[in-house]
């Protein structure tokens, strides 16, 4: 349904790995906020604000080039941003996309040869009817396929949890006791 890469199993497992690593990293962040809170209501307010900031500064809603300099540091701390960049690089690397429109176009340009026109997309080369995915993500977003595995390590580190008894590794245990929760 999303028309993701189907040429081999590798891109699927990279997608699965980063989805899992980003989930673990966000879970760790939410558990940390919960650990610092005394009630569910105290935990939900900063969590909501934090999630909105992480999603906005992931690079999807607000591209990294358009971020204000004084808030760009949020992107460096954002596990969603690392997962997003890795997934974009995984999806676009090694692919070629046909052009939907060319420049110049319109009345008076019908006699322009193929060598004198280019796709109206970042990364397009004059005279080619396609855009290489690697070049596109390089020029449009500053993403590189070579960065995928360092992001895997970083997301894995962010998602790592301390090993030990449940009282020390689960934020819910110490922050929210069963006596304070109402299931009626």
Domain boundaries, the chain: 11-95+132-175
Q: What is the rounded distance in angstroms from the CA atom of residue 12 to the CA atom of residue 166?
A: 33
Q: What is the rounded distance in angstroms from the CA atom of residue 116 to the CA atom of residue 162?
A: 60
Average pLDDT over residues 29-58: 89
Q: What is the rounded distance in angstroms from the CA atom of residue 29 to the CA atom of residue 47?
A: 9
pLDDT tens for 116-149 read: 888 888 888 888 889 999 999 999 888 999 888 8
CB 7 within 8 A of CB 68: no
CB 89 within 8 A of CB 144: yes
pLDDT of 48 reads 92
Tokens of 3: 């028309």
Q: If you write DSSP's letter for every residue of 70-90 in order, what string do you get?
A: TTTHHHHH-HHHHHHHHHHHH
């Amino acid at each position: 349904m999303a028309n993701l890469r189907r040429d081999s199993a590798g891109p699927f497992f990279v997608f699965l790995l980063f989805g899992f690593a980003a989930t673990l990293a966000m879970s760790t962040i939410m558990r940390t906020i919960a650990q610092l809170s005394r009630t569910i209501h105290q935990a939900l307010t900063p969590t909501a604000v934090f999630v909105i900031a992480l999603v906005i500064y992931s690079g999807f809603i607000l591209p990294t080039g358009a971020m204000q300099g004084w808030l760009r540091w949020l992107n460096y701390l954002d596990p969603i941003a690392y997962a997003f960049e890795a997934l974009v690089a995984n999806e676009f690397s090694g692919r070629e996309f046909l052009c939907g429109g060319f420049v110049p176009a319109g009345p008076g340009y019908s006699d322009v040869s193929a060598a004198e026109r280019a796709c109206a997309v970042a990364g397009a080369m004059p005279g080619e009817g396609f855009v290489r995915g690697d070049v596109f993500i390089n020029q449009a977003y500053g993403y590189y396929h070579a960065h995928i595995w360092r992001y895997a390590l970083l997301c894995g580190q962010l998602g790592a949890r301390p090993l030990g008894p449940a009282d020390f590794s689960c934020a819910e245990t110490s922050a929210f006791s069963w006596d304070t929760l109402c299931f009626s």
